[in-house]
Amino acid sequence: MASGFFALLDDIAALMDDVATMGKVAGKKTAGILGDDLAVNAEKASGFMSSREIPVLWAITKGSFLNKVIILPVAFLLSAFVPVAIKFILILGGLYLAYEGAEKIHEYLFPHKHHKSKPKLEKITKEEALAREKEKIKSAIITDFILSVEIIIIALGTVSEEALSIQIGVVTLIALVATVGVYGIVALIVRMDEFGARLIDLNERTDSFSDKIGNFLVNALPWVIKSLGVIGTIALMLVSGGIFVHNIHFIHDLVHSLPSILGEFLVGLVVGFLVLPIVGLLKKAWKAIFKK
């Protein structure tokens, strides 16, 4: 009886070791999309009153956990019974990532013209403010759902040749780390200015060490958000390009002589700018049909 118990423990330890090993590989593959996830969610969680930032972030985090609960079983069932669907979804995710990255680059190079108008002060009730907050939370959770699908499918594609038990362990680990890690860092980012303000008010002296640190944190927050946006865009191109290079032999043969990071970035860039006008036409057609 005891020997059977210890044999079970040995099997569990071996499984956890395999999960940890493959988790490192999957973590590297999903690191790029996690950068974009971090940038997007930092932007989504900002812009609220200081007292509402943490409650809003917690609501989005709970929604993210729910997204994972929905996505993970579906992904495992597809992997077990329709494994070809994983590659198909992976390619679709690559197209979406490439499009999103190209759209950001296009917006930076050719920004939309915004009509200049004087800002108007708008009085809203507490109920209206909470309703708008809920809409933003809903939007953030929907965005998280799309990014979560991409993270889970990329992680699952990394371990698709492994046993189902290892697939479940690795992908679940990546999903949990993604949620806790991303939203933990987002919480630190959105509270940077608040922490900086507290440091400034720590004492009545001017130009003290705490004042310098506090001013640095307050002034650094906008730059951190912008930097994450740039890093996230580059990551989108690298991740999407990597999906095509590693899953489509024709594309792999085209760029195999280039350094991998350059080849993947170029592939993501080209695919993104090919998809961009197609999506633009589809959006115009959609609006034309449903506006009638």
At residue 200, what are phi and psi to the nearest 5 degrees?
Answer: -65, -40
pLDDT of residue 114: 53
62: its two tokens: 């709970």
Residue-wise DSSP of 185-234:
HHHHHHTHHHHHHHHHTT-S-SS-HHHHHHHHHHHHHHHHHHHHHHHHHH
The whole-angstrom separation of Cα 90 and Cα 153 is 6
* C-alpha span between 142 and 120 (Å, rounded): 30
- Asked whether residue 224 is assigned to any structural domain, the reply reads no
Q: How far apart are CA 106 and CA 275, in angstroms?
A: 12
Indicate whether 175 belongs to any domain.
Answer: yes
Residue 197 lies in a domain: no
What is the b/e burial string over 249-282, where b = at least 16 CB atoms within 10 angstroms of the residue's CB? Answer: eebeebbeeeeeeebbbbbbbbbbbebbeeeeee
Number of folded domains that form the chain: 1
Instruction: Please check whether residue 92 lies inside any domain of the structure.
Output: yes
Q: How far is CA 62 from the centre of its chain?
A: 16
Q: Look at residues 270, 275, 264 and name the one whose alpha carbon lies nearest to residue 239.
A: 264
Residue 210 belongs to some domain of the structure: no
**What pTM value is reported for the model?**
0.69
Q: How many CB atoms lie within 10 A of CB 81?
A: 8
pLDDT on residue 194:
77
Q: Which residue is listed with tokens 């592939």?
A: 267
Q: Is 62 a domain residue?
A: yes
Confirm whether 155 is domain-assigned: yes
Q: What is the pLDDT of residue 221?
A: 77
Per-residue pLDDT of the chain (292 residues; tens, 9 = 90+): 445 443 443 444 444 454 455 545 555 555 556 666 666 666 666 666 667 777 888 888 888 889 989 988 988 888 778 878 878 888 888 888 889 889 989 888 887 665 555 545 556 666 777 777 788 888 778 878 877 887 888 787 777 777 777 778 888 888 888 788 778 877 777 777 777 877 777 777 777 777 888 888 888 877 877 787 787 788 778 878 888 988 889 999 999 898 988 998 999 999 999 999 999 898 888 888 876 5
Provide the pLDDT for residue 18.
47
Within-domain flag for 272: yes
pLDDT for residue 213? 85
Tokens of 94: 């690559």
Long-range contacts of 144-147 (CB under 8 A, 24+ apart): 144/37, 144/41, 144/60, 144/63, 144/64, 144/67, 145/67, 145/70, 145/71, 146/96, 147/33, 147/36, 147/37, 147/40
Give the pLDDT score at 40.
63
Closest CA to 99 of 230, 225, 239, 229: 239
> What six digits make up the tokens of 84?
């070809």
Please give the pLDDT value at position 123.
63
The identity of residue 212, as a single letter, is K
DSSP state of 256: T
Is 39:231 a contact under the CB 8 Å cutoff? yes
Residues spanned by the domain of 276: 15-112+125-192+231-290
